[in-house]
């Protein structure tokens, strides 16, 4: 009995040790960049975790409408991310439902194509994307970015949502059909309410990805008033003279705010509804 308790104690200690190491690896860069944002200087080389003369000047400068376009970049990023999230959730919901509930010619090939497409990152086709955007008049437009982000999100999220919809009993569909429900009514009133957890996951993923993307936004957007946060902050530190790295740190810290708010808003679906599809059948 004593030996069993000893082994249990060792396993528990090792588990806490691993968790502690992973937590330190994750939290240290976050705390360091937050501390750097309060550093009164412009260089990160002298930054400390807790600055000696902490100041909010960098945050004030970011919100100075006369000398900074940060709020405009912020608005652009939120607009693009929200549009991407809404269109992705709508398109992925219909696509995943079709692959999950119907049997049609080309279904297996379509799923295999999605599987292959999700392995290819968008930046692997930057030249083709740029040429296509130029020919369609979508270069230097937010609509072009949104369409690219939505197209890139569909393959992976379709597989993700299809797997969840497969776990929802088909008996619910059959019962609804016997009661006279059509396909759209089954989709909106039966399946989608049970799929709230996976919808929340897809919504979060499709919002976060555009919000932090740099490569596609840098290639497609050239006007400073249309910059996203990533491109705008890069331009701030990429100047030949006067690189403002601590202001960049302050801008980076604020990027986490809408992501955190969205996660907290959707958290109840992650926690309370994960087994809804299997328990209500």
pLDDT of residue 242: 54
Return the closest-CA partner of residue 249 out of 231, 237, 240: 237
Q: What is the pLDDT of residue 274?
A: 47
DSSP 8-state assignment for residue 41:
S
pLDDT of res. 83: 95
Tokens (6 digits) for 105: 């010619």
pLDDT value, residue 95: 93
Neighbours of 225 (CB within 10 A): 10
pTM of the model: 0.84
CB atoms closer than 10 angstroms to residue 216? 23
pLDDT on residue 145: 93
Query: What is the C-alpha to C-alpha distance for residues 101 and 162, in angstroms, rounded to an integer?
Result: 9
What sign has the CA pseudo-torsion 103, 104, 109, 114? negative
Angle at 149 between CA 143 and CA 150, to 5 degrees: 90
DSSP state of 215: H
Torsion of Cα atoms, 29 then 32 then 36 then 39, to 10°: 180
Rounded to whole angstroms, the Cα distance separating 98 from 186 reads 12
| Predicted pLDDT of residue 206 | 92
Q: What is the pLDDT of residue 174?
A: 84
**Digitized pLDDT (tens) for each residue of the chain, 281 residues in all:** 566 777 787 888 888 899 999 988 888 888 888 888 888 776 665 556 667 777 888 888 888 888 888 999 999 999 999 999 999 999 999 999 999 888 888 888 888 888 887 777 767 788 888 898 999 999 999 999 999 999 888 888 998 899 889 888 888 888 888 888 888 888 888 889 889 889 998 999 999 989 888 989 998 998 988 999 989 888 877 764 456 778 888 888 888 888 888 888 888 777 644 444 444 43
Is the CA virtual torsion 56, 61, 64, 68 positive or negative?
negative
Q: What is the pLDDT of residue 29?
A: 82
CA gap 34, 135 in Å, rounded: 43
- Rounded CA-CA distance 269/116 in Å is 30
What is the number of other CB atoms lying within 10 angstroms of the CB of residue 82? 17
């Amino acid at each position: 009995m004593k030996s069993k308790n000893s082994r249990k104690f060792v396993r528990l200690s090792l588990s806490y040790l691993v968790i502690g190491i992973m937590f330190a690896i994750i939290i240290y860069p976050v705390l360091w960049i937050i501390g750097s944002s309060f550093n009164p200087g412009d260089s990160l080389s002298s930054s400390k975790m807790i600055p000696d003369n902490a100041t909010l000047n960098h945050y004030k400068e970011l919100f100075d409408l006369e000398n900074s376009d940060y709020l405009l970049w912020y608005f652009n990023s939120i607009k693009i991310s929200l549009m991407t999230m809404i269109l992705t959730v709508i398109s992925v919901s219909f696509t995943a439902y079709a692959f999950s509930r119907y049997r049609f010619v080309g279904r297996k090939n379509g799923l295999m194509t999605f599987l292959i497409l999700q392995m290819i990152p968008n930046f692997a086709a930057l030249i083709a994307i740029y040429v296509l955007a130029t020919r369609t008049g979508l270069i230097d437009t937010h609509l072009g970015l949104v369409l690219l982000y939505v197209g890139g999100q569909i393959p992976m999220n379709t597989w993700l949502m299809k797997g969840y919809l497969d776990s929802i009993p088909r008996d619910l569909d059959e019962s609804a059909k016997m009661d006279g429900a059509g396909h759209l009514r089954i989709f909106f009133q039966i399946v989608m309410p049970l799929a709230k957890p996976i919808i929340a996951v897809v919504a979060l993923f499709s919002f976060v990805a555009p919000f932090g993307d740099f490569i596609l936004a840098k290639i497609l957007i050239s006007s400073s008033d249309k910059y996203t946060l990533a491109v705008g902050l890069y331009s701030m530190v990429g100047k030949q003279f006067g690189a403002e790295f601590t202001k960049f740190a302050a801008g980076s810290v604020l990027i986490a705010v809408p992501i955190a708010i969205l996660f907290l808003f959707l958290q109840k679906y992650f926690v309370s509804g994960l087994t809804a599809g299997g328990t209500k059948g």
